[in-house]
């Protein structure tokens, strides 16, 4: 069941701490160097997406995240879903000189079509906030931005040895976060190294040790 992020994450959560500080996030850290480093929309959004789904969208200006996500096989939509990332551009995509855009995480979809987002902003006075955004062409962002789309959560199919693609990347990223794989072994290909990691995870977590990532294994990986 989806759990919305409506309060600031714990200051010791590695998804929101830069790698140079011992965390998992390789985005540009907060300018003031504080431990909770996501006064930066990309830093926060990539962290919350990876924490939920095990997928690190390659670091980029906010407005380019849809391009990077599509290369991973993720779906870009104009319709929001809980857990998606909402992306706005400021100027032309892949041109940081005219603005870097903005990204926020969709936490709640209200009956009237509005959405509640959790977000951060570069060098903002506070590192985290939530807000309600009315449905419309620009989803409540000011007119200097234009709405690009929602990056939808990855589908979680049954994944078996020999498979490849975004679902394998997600599984590998979750195994990495739990210490069963190294970062360089996340390649989107379900080979022998990944199989060994998955079997070890299943054995140590009381699951059926079958080397298949199905619903019960997905649920355990996401805890």
User: For the whole model, what pTM was predicted?
Assistant: 0.71
CATH 1.10.101.10 segments of the chain: 166-221
Please give the CATH superfamily to which domain 14-151 belongs: endopeptidase domain like (from Nostoc punctiforme) (3.90.1720.10)
Q: Quick one: residue 27, left, alpha or beta (phi over 0 = left, psi -120 to 50 = alpha)?
A: beta
Distances 88 to 30, 96, 151, 198 between C-alpha atoms, Å? 20, 13, 11, 37
* Alpha-carbon distances of 124 from 34, 85, 103, 134, 160, rounded to whole Å: 13, 19, 14, 22, 44
- Where in the sequence of the chain do the CATH 3.90.1720.10 domains occur? 14-151
The closest of 172, 164, 150 to 53, measured between CA atoms, is: 172
pLDDT digits (tens, 9 = 90+) for 58-86: 877 899 999 988 887 788 999 999 999 99
Residue 35 banded pLDDT, cuts 50, 70, 90 = low
* CATH domain 166-221 topology: Muramoyl-pentapeptide Carboxypeptidase; domain 1 (1.10.101)
Closest to 213 (Cα-Cα) out of 197, 183, 186: 197
State pLDDT tens for residues 138-184.
999 999 999 999 999 887 677 889 988 888 888 998 999 999 999 88
């Amino acid at each position: 069941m989806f759990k919305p992020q409506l309060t600031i994450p714990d200051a010791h959560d590695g998804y929101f701490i830069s790698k140079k500080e011992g965390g998992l996030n390789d985005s540009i850290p907060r300018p003031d160097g504080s431990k909770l480093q996501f006064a930066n929309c990309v830093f926060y959004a990539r962290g919350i997406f990876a924490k939920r789904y095990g997928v690190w969208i390659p670091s980029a200006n906010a407005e380019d995240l849809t391009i990077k996500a599509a290369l991973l096989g993720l779906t870009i939509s104009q319709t929001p879903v809980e857990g998606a990332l909402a992306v706005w551009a400021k100027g032309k995509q892949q041109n940081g000189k005219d603005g870097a855009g903005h990204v926020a995480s969709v936490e709640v979809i209200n009956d009237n079509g509005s959405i509640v987002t959790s977000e951060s902003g570069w060098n903002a006075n506070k590192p985290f906030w939530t807000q309600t955004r009315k449905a419309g062409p620009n989803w409540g962002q000011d007119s200097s931005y234009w709405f690009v789309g929602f990056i939808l959560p990855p589908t979680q199919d049954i994944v078996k040895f020999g498979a490849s693609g975004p679902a394998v990347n997600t599984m590998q990223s979750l195994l990495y976060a739990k210490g069963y794989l190294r970062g360089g072994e996340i390649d989107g290909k379900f080979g022998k190294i990944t199989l060994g990691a998955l079997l070890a995870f299943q054995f140590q977590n009381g699951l059926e040790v079958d080397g298949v990532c199905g619903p019960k294994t997905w649920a355990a990986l996401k805890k």
